Structure 1
């Protein structure tokens, strides 16, 4: 039951960025990128990738065989953003996103422990 809850927390963390795939206006709200900016297309694609991360979390919540791969996918997503964020000097407009990912790391560690324990 704990694993289910942890995976659903990780899914929730990725739900809003994934929602931007279906509601592109969310991209402007979350990231400040206007629809007429050429980067908007890239951010819309990024939302599709978050949809994949969200789906991986839901899959792992209910299919134990998928948990190891989901840990890797979610870990790459969260850890790479945090690393890039800090390398970029911790830009203030992205602080909220970094804090959410940082708060999710203990949850990720928990599901990783369950997925990879002997």
Structure 2
């Protein structure tokens, strides 16, 4: 019963960045990017990838067979950002994102343990 809740927590973490795929103005509020910035399109594509992570979390909440793959997808997304953020000197403008990902690591660890414990 706990596993679906943990997956939904992970989905919630990825919901806001995924929303930017459908609502590009979110990129301005989340990251301060203006539509005329060349990186805007790249960040909107990144939002599409977050949508995939979000869907993987929702799927894993209800379909046990997909949980191992979802752990890998979500883990790569969260941990790679944290490593890159740290290697870049922990830039202050991205600190809130890093803190949210850090807060999600216990949920990720929980679902990973449950998915791979056999």
Q: Which residue of 2 aligns with 1:91?
A: 91
CA RMSD of aligned residues (A): 0.4
> Number of matched residues?
118
Partner of 2:20: 20
Q: Are 1:108 and 2:104 counterparts?
A: no
Q: Structure 2 length as normaliser, TM-score?
A: 0.99
Superimposed CA distance per residue, residues 57-107 of structure 1 (whole angstroms, 9 cap, x where no aligned partner): 000000000000000000000000000000000111100000000000000
Secondary structure of 1:107 counterpart: helix
Aligned-pair distance for 1:48? 0.2
Task: Flag structure 2 segments of 5+ consecutive residues without an equivalent.
Answer: none
Report the secondary structure of 2:34's partner residue: coil
Report which stretch shifted further, 28-37 or 51-60. 28-37
Runs of 4+ in 1 over 2 A off after TM superposition: none
Please name the residue that 1:78 is paired with.
78
TM-score by length of 1: 0.99
Gaps of at least 5 residues in structure 1 are none
